[in-house]
Amino acid sequence: EIVMTQSPATLSVSPGEGATLSCRASKSVSRNLAWYQQKPGQAPRLLIYDTSARATGIPARFSGSGGGTEFTLTISSLQSEDFAVYYCQQYDSWPPLTFGGGTKVEI
C-alpha cells in the first residue's frame, strides 16, 4: 500500500498571501495524483488531477506540480473561501486508493 504524507499539518496564512502544500508518496506514483478541498460539513471537491490539471470550474490560483514521490499544491493568493482542509490522493497503484492526512489552511 502506498502511504501518502502531507505537510505541514496546519498552515497559517493571511488573505492575499500565497500557500504551498506538500504531499509525499512512499513510492513513485508517476503523475497519478489528485488534490481535494474539504470544508466543514461538506463533501470533498476535486481541485487537481494528473498532478497539474485543474478540474472543471477551479480557479487559476490553484496549481499543482511535481511527480514521482514529491508533489505540491500552490494557492497563489488566498481568498476567504480557500480556508479549508486539503488532501492529496494517489491512484497509481490500487487497491487501495490512498489519501494523505490533510493540511488545514487557516487564517
Partner 1 sequence: QVQLVQSGAAVKKPGSSVKVSCKASGGNFATGVFSWVRQAPGQGFEWIGGMMGYYGTAIYAQKFRGRVLITTDDSTTTVYMELSSLTSEDTAVYFCARGPVDIQTSMLFLEYWGQGTLVTVSS
**Binding site residues, partner 1, CB under 8 A:** 1, 32, 34, 36, 43-46, 49-50, 55, 87, 89, 91, 94-102
Our CB check for partner 1 shows the closer of 49 and 71 to be 49
Closest by alpha carbon to 89, among 20, 28, 35, 25? 35
Closest by alpha carbon to 27, among 51, 5, 50? 5
Least spacing, CB of residue 31 vs partner 1, in Å: 12
Least spacing, CB of residue 52 vs partner 1, in Å: 13
Contact (CB, 8 A) for 63 and 84: no
Least spacing, CB of residue 25 vs partner 1, in Å: 15
Hunting for cell 487501495 — which residue is that? 96
Distance between CA 85 and CA 51 in Å, rounded?
Answer: 18
Our CB check for partner 1 shows the closer of 7 and 77 to be 7
**C-alpha R_g of the chain:** 13
Our CB check for partner 1 shows the closer of 9 and 12 to be 9
Q: Is 79 helix (H, G, I), strand (E, B) or coil?
A: coil
Our CB check for partner 1 shows the closer of 68 and 102 to be 102
Least spacing, CB of residue 74 vs partner 1, in Å: 18
